[in-house]
Amino acid sequence: MRIRIVDAFTDRPFAGNPAGVLLLDSDAFPDDAWLQRVATEMNLSETAFAHPLPPGGDADWALRWFTPAAEVAMCGHATLAAAHVLRSTGAATGTVRFAALCGILTTTARDDGTFTLDFPTAPLTEVPVPDGVADALGADVLSAHDTGPHIGDLLVELADERTVRALTPDCPALVAHSRRGIIATAAAEDPSSSGYDFVSRCFFPQLGIDEDPVTGSAHTALAPFWSARLRRDELTGLQASARSGLVATSLRGDRTLLTGGAVTVVDGELLA
């Protein structure tokens, strides 16, 4: 079987977020334990597994995502990576519908080589700042928001971009504060010259990922959060990890559109 590594939410290799992609020619997924072993072997934030579905249904492909430690209900960058592989191999063109744990997701190939993902908007609920989260992050927290069932993160607003970039969190101490991870965010220091409106960093020690390079699913929460504050539905976020990546967001009520590019960096054969 062919297995690929695709850098997502970037237009150049060795940036953005790498995802494994395995397209299956079967009509069902292999055993869950095998899927998990492959994802653990890949040791990337997520590995996407997809198989084609019969024509005439609600979706074209079934899609699942595994981190090195667990299956997740929603993943943006690995969905983008899967769409990129489908297009680059000729397996699919235009708009592709995926059946996933979080519902039907669509990806649309654009003329400039990027893809737009249609994902459910995270329902934000402001909550008291949990005791200990500021100490674990190493920064004061201005506000905290639960992001709902699909992603299960705690979104925390920090004072400014410099604070987000300077974080050196105690990742084991963050585990107690959310179901999946922590999204730390602040407004961009100079959006007119930088080309982005807000910054973020994402920490998922619960899933075996201390820091995720660029997290598409987190932007389904960041989009409504910053659209409400900046009073615009079209925004661009920079995830300020060491690899970094840009995610263009467009808020459409209960759906959020995420746009970015992808580059294949490894194309190999899975022998096991």
Catalytic residues: 46
Q: Under DSSP, is residue 181 helix (H, G, I), strand (E, B) or coil?
A: coil
Whether 21 contacts 6, CB under 8 Å? yes
**SS3 category, 24:** coil
Are 156 and 183 in contact, with CB atoms under 8 Å apart?
A: yes
- What is the DSSP secondary-structure string of 38-97? HHHHHTSSEEEEEEE--TTSS-SEEEEEE-SS-EES--HHHHHHHHHHHHHHTS--SEEE
Buried b (16+ CB within 10 A) or exposed e, 234-244: ebbbbbbbebb
